[in-house]
Amino acid sequence: MNAKKSSFFDHVWDFFCSLKLAISTLILLALTSIIGTVIQQNANPQDYVREYGETAYRIFSALNFLDMYHSWWFLTLLTLFAVNLICCSIKRLPRILKLVNQPNLDPDERFYKTMANGGELTVGLAPEKVRDRLAEFLGRKFARPRVAEGEGIIQLFAQKMPWARFSVYVTHLSILVIFLGAILGTVWGYKAYVNIPEGSSTDKVWPRGSDTPIDLGFEVRCDRFEVQFYPGGMRPKEFVSDLVVLENGREVEKKTIEVNNPLTYKGITFYQSSYGPMGDPQFHFKVRERATGKTVTVVAHKGQPVRLPGGQAFRVADFTEHFQTFGSAARIEMLPDLAGKNPAGRSRKSFVVLQKFPEFDAQRGGEYIFSLLDYKQRYYTGLQVAKDPGVWVVWLGCFFLVAGTFSAFFLSHRRLWVTVRAEGGKTHVRYGANAHRNQAAFAIWFEDFARDFEESLKK
């Protein structure tokens, strides 16, 4: 009964340690991950119903396909992946530790026969002399050897990069570290957003998918927002916000943020992410009365009538910053005057004024000649706000992942044994070496090494 029970647990344990589980999990993760790239994640139910129909929507929903990367079954797969990593490390680490910490210091002929690289020779030097020469040679050309002396026998053992054996486990551990970092960020961090109009401030931000704001514990003010465009087009060059952090009304931090250049204060980072207009722009026009040559400067808001000196009125019907390639343009509409009389003359009722070409409107032949001096548009800046105390743990894990894989693939634990034995007045030297990675390259290196090795014992 007992034996049977333990064998059952052995089976379970072996299952969780197995390479087959690792490969199956990796392939399952790869296959299932595709679902979330084909079906849009976290969209509105209406959108799904429109795209796939009611029944399919129900099925997808039941299978958690609509937020699959956070579904119980995907998280189970990831957990299985983690458990597999932990179990196989627990199973193998003691063996590797033993191999590194307790190397065979008493190799016999059978042991030498297992090695792909080696040789033997007999020299005239005394064993002690051989020992000293080899210790010097190995220290210079390979690694300082450990020497064990017995009855008529001297054993030397030298190794390089024994720690390379652990790089696989560093890689495996790094994935667990990344998971840990992600969990820390999920539990103690948040992703939020906030829109701040130019000139105002906020001490609250809104987390994604929630109506309850988060208190920052300080205030953030946006003094200015600006979009810059590349010359001659609508291609944005930079979005810039001047942010000020206030604690109890005092300015404690100031930074101009742009995309790819955020502001961090007390572990909370503000990223430039979007922007939008606040209310309508304010325009300054210079208006010249053609008949009299009298010129006035007027302020206008979009849609609101503005009275001109001659009794007539106009309004800015429309405005764009990009009128074809001409830049900022306002469409002006002449309004009936107070007496209800329509604008006189042969001028059109509505026309376009370009900021770049102040004299353009003169060609229209209207009663008034408009030129757009400038306009002021107030914006709000859209900020992503993130707090992620786990992010450094994630980077640490990433560092170990890359360092671990590079060293697991390209660094090799190399070991060398030498047995020196007195034999009828002469000394017999038997040596052998192996590498745990890239044996082909090691064999080439060993050829040269063996020549120098034997050379050092002659003369």
Partner 1 sequence: MSSVNLFNFTTIAYFSAMILFVGYLVTRKEGVSLVANIATWIGFVLHTGAIGLRWYESYQMLGADGRAPLSNLYESVVFFAWTIVLIYILLDLKYKQRAVGAFVVPFAFLGMTWAQLNLNDAIDPLVPALQSNWLTYHVITCFLGYACFAVACGVSIMYLIKSGKEQNNAESTPAGGVMSLFPSIRVLDDINYKAIMIGFPLLSLGIITGAAWANYAWGTYWSWDPKETWSLIVWFVYAAFLHARFTRGWVGRKAAWLSVFGFAATIFCYLGVNLVLSGLHSYGGG
Binding site for partner 1 (CB under 8 A): 19-20, 22-23, 26-27, 29-30, 33-34, 36-38, 41, 69, 182, 191, 230, 235-239, 258-260, 262, 269, 271-273, 384-386, 388, 391, 394-395, 398, 401-402, 405-406, 409-410
Q: How far is the CB of 386 from partner 1 (least distance, A)?
A: 3
Residue 307 β-bridge partners: 313
CB 197 within 8 A of CB 278: yes
Residue 282 β-bridge partners: 301, 376
Q: How far is the CB of 225 from partner 1 (least distance, A)?
A: 13
CB nearer to partner 1: give 64 or 273. 273
CB nearer to partner 1: give 257 or 429. 257
**Residues ≥6 apart with Cβ < 8 Å to 378:** 197, 198, 199, 277, 278, 279, 281
CA distances from 381 to 65, 194, 195, 262 (A): 34, 8, 6, 13
**Parallel/antiparallel/unpaired status of strands 190-197 and 426-435:** unpaired
Residue 21 β-bridge partners: none
CB nearer to partner 1: give 8 or 406. 406
CB nearer to partner 1: give 92 or 284. 92
Alpha carbons 304 and 443: distance in angstroms, whole number: 88
Q: How far is the CB of 227 from partner 1 (least distance, A)?
A: 9
Q: How far is the CB of 258 from partner 1 (least distance, A)?
A: 7
Q: Is 306 helix (H, G, I), strand (E, B) or coil?
A: strand
Q: How far is the CB of 425 from partner 1 (least distance, A)?
A: 47
CB nearer to partner 1: give 41 or 304. 41
CB 225 within 8 A of CB 241: yes
CA 69 to chain centroid, in Å, comes to 18
CB nearer to partner 1: give 238 or 242. 238
CB 83 within 8 A of CB 21: no
Q: How far is the CB of 313 from partner 1 (least distance, A)?
A: 41
